[in-house]
C-alpha cells in the first residue's frame, strides 16, 4: 500500500506521463530517431519530478525481486555479446532495450508501490492508450490493407504486434470490469464495451494468433473462478458471443475477402499460400539445432538472426530477409542457452505456482492468467526485449505481490 503523500497534481503528472509513454511507444516507435531514449528519459524525469524533495524513490517492498529478476536476466543477455560469432545491426538495439526496460520497471515499481488501486490505474491507462492507438492505427490504414501485411498506417507497428496489444488490452479491460462488477458504477460499465471493441480491433488485424490469445487471456481467468455454475455460464456466454460475431462477419463480403482464408488456415493447418506457418516452423527447428551446439550458454546475443543472414539459400527460397525465429523459447535457448532460458522463465513460473493455493483471489487469478497466457503466447513471438510485452508480464507479476494487501 502506498503510504507516501503525493499531491493530486503529482498523481495527475504521473498518470499523464504513462499515457504519453505508451502512445509514443506505439505510434512513433523507431520512426523518430532516439524515440525510445526520449520516452525512457521522459518517464524517469517525470517520476522524479512527481516526488517532493523529501520523498524518496521507492523500489522496495514485495515487488523488488521483480527488478532483481529482470536485471539479472539483462546482465546475462548483455554478457552473451562477448561470445557471439556473428555481428548484427540489432545487437545494440537489444542491449539498449534491456536497459530501457529495467528503467521502465523501476518507474513501475515506484508508481504502484504494492498498491492494488495503483495496479488498476496503470491497467486503465494501458487500456486507454491502446484504444486510442487502435483508432489511429485503423484510421491511418487504408481499408484495402486491413488484415494483411501492409496494415499499419503511419505507425511502425506490425499487425501481429498490434493484434497482441489489442488482445491484452481487451483482457485488461475485462479483468477491470470483473474486479469492480459488484460495486459497478455507470462509468465502469463501458469497460465491457471497450473490451469488445478491442477484441474487434485485434481480430481485424488478420493475425491468427489473436483468437488463441483472447481465448487464453479470458478463459484462464474464468476457469480460476470458484463455482462450476459460474464457470459454465461465463464460458457459454463467451462461446455464444463468438459464434454470433462469426455469423455476422460471414455475411459481410468485405470481411470474407479480407479474413476468410486466414481464418480457415488457423484451423486447417499449413495450407496457407504465403507459407508463413511453414517458414516459421522451419526457423524454430533451425534455432533448436543451433541451441544443441551450445546448450548451456547459447550461441550469443542475437546469434540466430546472424545465422539466418548467412543462410542465403533458405532466404532466397522463401523470398524473406533475415529475421528472428518467431518463438521466444527457442530464440532464448539458441542465443542465451539454458541459463538465459531459466533466468527468463523460472521466476514468473515459480511465483504463479506459489499463488495457486489462493488462485480464487481476484489479483492472484488475474496474475496467474496474465503470466500463463503470456508464456504460452511466447511460442509465436519474441518478447524478452520488447517494452510493451514485458510491461504486461510485469503487471501480472505485481498482481501476485499485492493480493494480501488491504486497502
- What pLDDT digit, counting tens, does each position of 211-238 carry? 888 888 888 888 887 767 766 766 776 6
- Nearest Cα residue to 110 out of 58, 166, 185: 58
d(C-alpha 354, C-alpha 344), whole Å: 17
The per-residue pLDDT for range 42-79, each reduced to its tens digit, is 888 877 777 655 556 666 678 889 999 999 999 999 99
pLDDT > 70 in the chain, percent: 80
pLDDT range class, residue 1, cuts 50, 70, 90: very low
The per-residue pLDDT for range 157-204, each reduced to its tens digit, is 888 899 999 999 999 998 998 887 765 555 567 888 899 899 889 888
Q: Are 127 and 169 contacting, i.e. CB atoms less than 8 angstroms apart? A: yes
Q: So what's the pLDDT on residue 26?
A: 82
> How would you class 240 by CB atoms within 10 Å of its CB: exposed for 0-12, middle for 13-18, buried for 19 or more?
exposed
d(C-alpha 369, C-alpha 264), whole Å: 27
d(C-alpha 159, C-alpha 298), whole Å: 30
d(C-alpha 13, C-alpha 103), whole Å: 18
Q: Are 334 and 299 contacting, i.e. CB atoms less than 8 angstroms apart? A: yes
pLDDT range class, residue 272, cuts 50, 70, 90: very low
Whole-number average pLDDT of the chain = 83
Q: Are 316 and 273 contacting, i.e. CB atoms less than 8 angstroms apart? A: no
Q: For the chain, what is the total number of helices (H) and then of strands (E)?
A: 16, 0
- Nearest Cα residue to 201 out of 235, 168, 155: 168
- Helix, strand, or coil here: 113? coil
d(C-alpha 334, C-alpha 314), whole Å: 18
Q: Is the four-CA dihedral 70, 73, 75, 78 of positive or negative sign?
A: negative
The three three-digit cell numbers of residue 247, written as one number: 455469423
Q: Are 340 and 77 contacting, i.e. CB atoms less than 8 angstroms apart? A: yes
Amino acid at each position: 500500500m502506498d503510504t507516501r503523500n503525493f499531491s493530486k497534481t503529482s498523481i495527475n503528472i504521473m498518470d499523464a506521463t504513462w499515457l504519453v509513454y505508451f502512445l509514443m511507444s506505439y505510434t512513433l516507435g523507431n520512426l523518430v530517431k532516439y524515440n525510445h531514449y526520449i520516452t525512457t528519459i521522459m518517464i524517469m524525469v517525470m517520476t522524479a519530478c512527481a516526488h517532493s524533495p523529501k520523498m524518496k524513490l521507492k523500489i522496495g517492498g514485495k515487488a523488488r525481486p521483480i527488478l532483481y529478476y529482470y536485471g539479472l536476466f539483462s546482465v546475462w543477455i548483455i554478457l552473451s555479446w562477448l561470445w557471439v560469432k556473428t555481428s548484427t545491426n540489432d545487437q545494440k538495439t537489444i542491449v539498449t532495450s534491456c536497459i530501457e526496460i529495467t528503467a521502465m520497471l523501476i518507474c513501475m515499481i515506484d508508481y504502484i508501490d504494492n498498491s492494488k488501486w495503483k495496479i488498476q490505474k496503470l491497467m486503465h491507462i494501458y487500456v486507454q492508450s491502446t484504444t486510442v492507438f487502435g483508432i489511429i492505427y485503423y484510421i491511418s490504414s487504408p481499408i484495402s490493407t486491413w488484415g494483411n501485411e501492409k496494415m499499419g498506417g503511419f505507425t511502425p507497428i506490425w499487425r501481429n504486434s498490434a493484434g497482441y496489444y489489442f488482445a491484452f488490452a481487451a483482457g485488461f479491460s475485462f479483468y477491470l470490469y470483473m474486479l469492480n462488477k459488484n460495486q459497478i458504477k455507470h462509468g465502469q460499465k463501458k469497460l465491457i464495451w471497450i473490451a469488445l471493441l478491442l477484441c474487434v480491433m485485434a481480430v481485424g488485424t488478420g493475425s491468427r494468433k489473436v483468437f488463441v490469445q483472447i481465448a487464453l487471456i479470458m478463459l484462464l481467468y474464468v476457469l480460476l473462478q470458484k463455482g462450476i455454475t459460474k464457470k459454465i455460464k461465463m464460458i457459454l456466454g463467451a462461446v455464444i458471443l463468438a459464434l454470433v460475431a462469426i455469423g455476422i462477419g460471414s455475411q459481410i463480403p468485405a470481411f470474407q475477402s479480407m479474413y476468410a482464408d486466414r481464418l480457415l488456415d488457423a484451423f486447417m493447418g499449413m495450407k496457407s499460400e504465403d507459407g508463413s506457418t511453414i517458414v516459421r516452423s522451419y526457423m524454430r527447428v533451425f534455432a533448436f539445432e543451433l541451441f544443441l551446439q551450445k546448450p548451456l550458454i547459447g550461441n550469443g546475443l542475437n546469434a540466430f538472426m546472424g545465422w539466418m543472414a548467412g543462410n542465403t539459400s533458405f532466404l532466397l527460397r522463401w523470398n524473406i530477409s533475415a529475421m528472428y525465429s518467431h518463438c521466444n523459447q527457442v530464440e532464448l535457448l539458441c542465443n542465451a542457452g539454458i541459463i538465459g532460458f531459466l533466468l527468463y522463465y523460472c521466476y514468473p513460473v515459480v511465483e504463479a505456482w506459489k499463488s495457486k493455493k489462493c488462485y480464487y483471489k481476484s489479483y492472484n487469478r488475474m496474475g496467474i492468467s496474465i503470466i500463463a497466457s503470456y508464456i504460452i503466447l511466447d511460442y509465436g513471438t519474441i518478447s524478452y526485449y520488447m517494452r510493451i510485452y514485458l510491461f504486461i508480464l510485469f503487471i501480472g507479476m505485481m498482481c501476485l505481490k499485492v493480493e494480501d494487501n488491504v486497502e
